[in-house]
Amino acid sequence: MRGAMASAYTRLRRLTDSLQDPEKVARFQHVCGVQSSPSHEQRDSQEAAGDGPARHRRHHNGLLENGAARCTEQEKMQPLRRNSLTGEEGQHFVIRNRLLYYLFTLGTELGNELFYISFFPFWIWNVDAQVGRRVIVVWVWVMYLGQCTKDLIRWPRPPSPPVLKLEVFYNSEYGMPSTHAMSGTAIPLSLLLLTWGRWQYPFFYGLIFAMVWCSLVCLSRVYMGMHSILDVVAGVLYAILILVVFHPALDIIDNFNLTYKYAPLIIISLHLALGIFSFTLDTWSTSRGDTAEILGSGAGIACGSHVSYMLGFLKEPSPDTLPFIIPPITVTLLGKAMLRVLIGLVVLLLIRAVMKMITIPLACKVFGIPCDDVRKARQRMEVELPYRYLTYGMVGFAVMFIVPYLFTWVGLH
């Protein structure tokens, strides 16, 4: 018995080591047409041996100059991309397959802030607010637990070389598990589970759509050089586990957020406490700001839902009207949807800009932190937590209450 367990452990260890091998990531990138700039391969090898600048300073994209390599029509020269929070920049690379580059860039954007601030409001304003609220509950917990797990496990991202880093912003974070893979699994699966039976559509098509979404996000993280295969697999399994736990409780959570008298106080306190806890796990990285943004957004959405429901603006359909039938796509329908998105996103971006202008200087003043260098000030817990939490809490509140009220006022509801 003990020997069988030891043998199983050995096989599992070999499997995890194989899935964590950075050479596999590098080979996948090479097969997909990602190659190092020839003029910089020697420099990268020197840095790998410790002869060049610190490798963590080279984990970002660079500009491939005209004379650096012979580019064919299928190659894509990449502009310099800099991490706006750390100022780091680095590797030069050549893209020899534009289609895959754009496809996987789209895939990785499905897990970034621009997608979230566009997709969730679009769904809430134009498709189904109830489903949107519940998907956001799943998303908040998946992302929060994923970010905290990263800081507890503290496994680094794949080393470079041999891996080429095509993305710059998240390189300061740890790699295990991939939160992109977690969100790329949880969002489409929860959409499928929450809409099936509520909307009329073939389940098979919904399942295929969810699988394509998940696969595109997961493969994009390996393509970008940001995660090992093991990071991605662990992220998918972890998200499924969280979804299994939280999905049965979504009705209770959503009903509590809408109807309980003191729900906003409990919601704000809980999300704030979780944010403070996550900020004490490790040294600064971009995961701290992301965690505060996610928690603030979740709290704002929940509080906005509560206010809308209490004021009678949020009306749930009668069970007799279910399942919904997908309406025919007409010019009028598309026009109203695009107008809602345009007006709504303008309002959200204005709110975010104003809150950012207010909260950062205010937090610096309250805690006596110099605000001359905004980048360094934002990395302080005393500034980053209130700035991110309050700003995105207000954005979330606007998504569920301010913007829908505006739509009612101008006749777009």
At 62 the pLDDT is 40
At 199 the pLDDT is 87
Is 227 designated active site? yes
Q: Is 341 a domain residue?
A: yes
pLDDT of 294 > 60? The answer is yes
- pLDDT tier at 313 (50, 70, 90 boundaries)? confident
At 304 the pLDDT is 93
At 13 the pLDDT is 79
At 285 the pLDDT is 61
Q: Is the peptide bond before 323 cis (omega within 30 degrees of 0)?
A: yes
Q: Is 241 a domain residue?
A: yes
Beta strands 199-200 and 324-325, pairing class: parallel
Which of 278-287, 291-300, 311-320 has the lowest average pLDDT?
278-287
Q: Which of 40, 59, 60, 180 is catalytic?
A: 180
pLDDT of 252 > 90? The answer is yes
Kindly state the percentage of the chain with pLDDT values over 70. 78
At 155 the pLDDT is 83
At 84 the pLDDT is 44
At 284 the pLDDT is 54
**Bigger pLDDT: 336 or 170?**
336
At 266 the pLDDT is 92
Averaged pLDDT, 278-296: 70
Q: Partners of 94 in the beta sheet? A: 35, 77
**Bigger pLDDT: 158 or 288?**
158
Is 92 designated active site? no
Among the listed residues 123, 110, 249, the one whose alpha carbon sits nearest the alpha carbon of residue 195: 123
At 61 the pLDDT is 41
Taking only the tens place, the pLDDT of each residue in 42-82 is: 444 444 444 444 333 333 344 333 333 444 444 444 444 44
Averaged pLDDT score across all residues of the chain: 80
Q: Is 64 a domain residue?
A: no
Which of 59-68, 195-204, 334-343 has the lowest average pLDDT?
59-68
- pLDDT tier at 373 (50, 70, 90 boundaries)? low
Taking only the tens place, the pLDDT of each residue in 203-233 is: 999 999 999 999 999 999 988 888 888 989 9
Taking only the tens place, the pLDDT of each residue in 18-46 is: 777 788 888 888 888 877 766 544 444 44
At 286 the pLDDT is 67
At 358 the pLDDT is 87
Q: Is 125 exposed, middle or buried, given 0-12, 13-18 or 19+ CB atoms closer than 10 A?
A: buried
Q: Is 93 a domain residue?
A: no
| Sequence-distant (≥ 6) Cβ neighbours of residue 196 within 8 angstroms | 203, 206
Q: Which of 227, 271, 306, 413 is catalytic?
A: 227
Q: Is 319 a domain residue?
A: yes
| Sequence-distant (≥ 6) Cβ neighbours of residue 216 within 8 angstroms | 103, 104, 106, 107, 110, 184
At 408 the pLDDT is 86
At 52 the pLDDT is 42
Buried b (16+ CB within 10 A) or exposed e, 234-251: bbbebbeebbeebbeebe
Q: Is 4 a domain residue?
A: no
- pLDDT tier at 375 (50, 70, 90 boundaries)? low
Beta strands 93-95 and 76-77, pairing class: antiparallel
Kindly state the percentage of the chain with pLDDT values over 90. 31
At 47 the pLDDT is 46
- pLDDT tier at 357 (50, 70, 90 boundaries)? confident
In angstroms, the Cα distances linking 221 to 52, 106, 108, 147, 229 are 27, 11, 6, 16, 9
Among the listed residues 202, 213, 161, 196, the one whose alpha carbon sits nearest the alpha carbon of residue 43: 161
Q: Is 38 a domain residue?
A: no
pLDDT of 267 > 50? The answer is yes
Give the number of domains in the chain.
1
Q: Is 26 a domain residue?
A: no
Averaged pLDDT, 103-112: 89
Full domain range(s) for residue 356: 107-410
Q: Model-level pTM?
A: 0.82
Q: How far is the C-alpha of 364 from the C-alpha of 384, rounded, in Å?
A: 10
